[in-house]
Structure 1
């Protein structure tokens, strides 16, 4: 019954589709005919399927709404990726969020944003009330083109498409590049919303272990040969959640394998501006024939000014513009104008210089506080906001997160980042959100409970 419900929820079966015969279903599921009869009878009673005399069983009525949470393996709903995101986004003002993925408000350049808003209040009417072009604000695309060149990525302004966020950029690219059932490769661990988004696109998700220098190349080659994925999504700068950086050797081997197996790569570079020493960029090393570069400013400037971008080859940009018109019609003018105003006045560079220094100090302080509880980083990241840590032996991260939530602290246990569910004693900590001493008091109690 659960299998059939899942197939209907994920639209593998839709209204009017015929179900396998009783004997066929029994063979497929390795159960007796009587078990299938019982299951079908109960589903008929619930109105989920219909029995047509002499014909068989069919999906009834309207197709159930898509439930992303039901796609793929069942996870513990108490601590799945949606739970982490919702608890962080919906948290009361008094809750602490060391498990979230963004900076506290007082770490952001508030005064620069206010100045930009005052400037925009005097802008022409078309900025305030008109649709933007589908490609996006030209001055910002020109600025992004110059910024990308600093990483060795050669993208003309017309090869840059603005989006509302990095997440929307990946969503658009999944619409463009894959269909239901296509195989997509991700890191293990990886940013948990990659999995959620790919399930929404009904992709077949496979993963490869990710270590201090990038993905395990032998495992990567084996996955490509065995599963033949269409797409690979990764961070090559500061990796989420591990904080690792891609090494040049791993990058070259990865690109060679991608060429051999006709693999397309989405390089999510949302944490680029946190780096002190830039890691190799796959887009710079391999060009844009099969590597797509995306980014946004939600982590360093403002999550309220939703503005991301896609940089890719010209023929794909043209098709992505059509897709953007079909799904979102055009770009906003306000958010890109705000981002452009802040970036060009010089205050953003000064903000990031200070922010990197502050994060470096905070990283050391947080690591010391965690060490006093027996919690240690798996690796020492070169920069960024995350520590990927191992809890003391025998401590379950998921149960610790449940216990901490009751005390008003939102944590991010390891298995929400792991497709293989192999990170049960690991946890991601956002060092910028770990400044309150209550966090470590709650964490110590939560591990003991």
Structure 2
């Protein structure tokens, strides 16, 4: 990237993330040149190109200003100026687009033959014989009542008390988050994320043009001292986090940290999205913020793509009662009625007598996979940040401060997809970390490619 392109990219990124609002006066040519250590003529050329593209305009004697015309949204141009190997959208696409022969220890899901295929087949056969309305008509706005009733019973087992009328079925966990973002956020708002956190949180927040602040994550949950400072200094609107098993670290929220986070959030008027997509992977239930809060400021969400099927999409939101109607309006506006088919099949699979046995077997398989993967990584000098109690993820430190982005590029050329640490990090402080999926690590070629790439 040339010096001129560097200035242009920086201005575009600040406009995209609403650091520069429409009508904002840009820093002067002299100030920008001093900041970068470039010549004033370089900055003038960059500003003139931006003006030619209609992104900024000049006012004689007053400087350059961000144009009022909003440019088309390009998520890839937003956020930090990253190597594409550590861009969350790029990593997702590599995991989804590479051939079935590729090895994917960096992906975030179980292998197909680990999922509950037989239960899903029985569910599909059962639904195919049901009332024709189930396979042909729109669903009611809240979604299938029987599934919502089942979900409230499952939540009750975690201490979360909700009525079926507080549960909204969605097309996926991602749609659940997007609906809540649309409901709560306006461009320029501030959102707190864990650092590190699930990388698609970053990608989705870009689409909503908000400011993002990362709170360091510890083995017990977010650093509460840093969390308190962020609430005081940035006045965020929302905090999004994982319940139970944290992605990517595998850490578990401690009771003390959960109580303190909730106290701080309640005092600050902060809303929380608690994503519990890995609930069924737990051996011992962790505290839920939604249980402690009573669904007052916490939106509790989940889906079934990690345990049942990623092909048949179904998620849900358990929301404070007073916000349900507004969320339903948004759901209809952005997706109309939704479908009944996925919900009916999910209900059948979850109530199938074999589901509990299936998940028990998954717990055992994951424990065995962790026990086999950790020593294989250790031989390469790759060490877990912590030893998780459950789940599929290991958050690993590379030897000798190797660059995870460089390693990912080398391995990708050999058909191995990795998830570099800075993909998950708002502060870009995880350069020497990778997230490793033990369920996708049973092929010896993965470790051969890693050894060659680290050599």
Choose the corresponding residue for 1:385, options 386, 392, 395: 392
The residue number in structure 2 matching 1:371 is 378
Structure 1 residues 368 and 58: CA distance shift in structure 2, 3 A: closer
Counterpart CA distance in 2 for 1:60 and 1:328 is: 32
TM-score by length of 2: 0.92
Counterpart CA distance in 1 for 2:82 and 2:384 is: 25
Counterpart CA distance in 1 for 2:394 and 2:9 is: 38
Deviation at 1:8, TM superposition (A): 5.8
The residue number in structure 1 matching 2:3 is none
Say if 2:127 and 2:345, in contact at 8 Å, map to a contact too: yes
Deviation at 1:202, TM superposition (A): 0.8
Deviation at 1:41, TM superposition (A): 3.4
Structure 1 residues 392 and 283: CA distance shift in structure 2, 3 A: same
Structure 1 residues 278 and 12: CA distance shift in structure 2, 3 A: closer
Counterpart CA distance in 1 for 2:67 and 2:402 is: 46
Alignment of 1:110-259 (within 5 A): 110-259=117-266
Deviation at 1:59, TM superposition (A): 7.4
Say if 1:342 and 1:348, in contact at 8 Å, map to a contact too: yes
The residue number in structure 1 matching 2:29 is 26
The residue number in structure 2 matching 1:429 is 436
Deviation at 1:40, TM superposition (A): 3.9
Gaps of 5+ in 2: 1-7
Structure 1 residues 357 and 37: CA distance shift in structure 2, 3 A: closer
For 2:399, what is the secondary structure of its paired residue?
coil
Say if 2:95 and 2:417, in contact at 8 Å, map to a contact too: yes
The residue number in structure 1 matching 2:302 is 295
Deviation at 1:296, TM superposition (A): 0.5
Choose the corresponding residue for 1:85, options 54, 78, 92: 92
Bigger CA drift: 89-98 or 36-45? 36-45
Say if 1:234 and 1:266, in contact at 8 Å, map to a contact too: yes
- For residues 257-281 of structure 1, the C-alpha deviation after alignment (integer angstroms, 9 at most, x for no partner) is 1111111111110000000000011
- For residues 304-325 of structure 1, the C-alpha deviation after alignment (integer angstroms, 9 at most, x for no partner) is 1100100011111111011111
The residue number in structure 2 matching 1:358 is 365
Gaps of 5+ in 1: none
Counterpart CA distance in 2 for 1:81 and 1:38 is: 31
Structure 1 residues 398 and 7: CA distance shift in structure 2, 3 A: closer
The residue number in structure 1 matching 2:5 is none
2:75 is the counterpart of 1:68: yes
TM-score by length of 1: 0.93
RMSD of aligned Cα (Å):
2.4
Say if 1:236 and 1:268, in contact at 8 Å, map to a contact too: yes
Say if 2:29 and 2:44, in contact at 8 Å, map to a contact too: no
Say if 2:16 and 2:209, in contact at 8 Å, map to a contact too: no
For 1:393, what is the secondary structure of its paired residue?
helix
The residue number in structure 2 matching 1:267 is 274
- For residues 333-373 of structure 1, the C-alpha deviation after alignment (integer angstroms, 9 at most, x for no partner) is 01000000111122211111111111111111111211121
Counterpart CA distance in 2 for 1:427 and 1:180 is: 31
Structure 1 residues 245 and 46: CA distance shift in structure 2, 3 A: closer
For 2:86, what is the secondary structure of its paired residue?
coil
- For residues 142-177 of structure 1, the C-alpha deviation after alignment (integer angstroms, 9 at most, x for no partner) is 000100000010011111001111111111101111
Alignment of 1:337-352 (within 5 A): 337-352=344-359
Counterpart CA distance in 1 for 2:222 and 2:396 is: 18
Structure 1 residues 221 and 38: CA distance shift in structure 2, 3 A: same
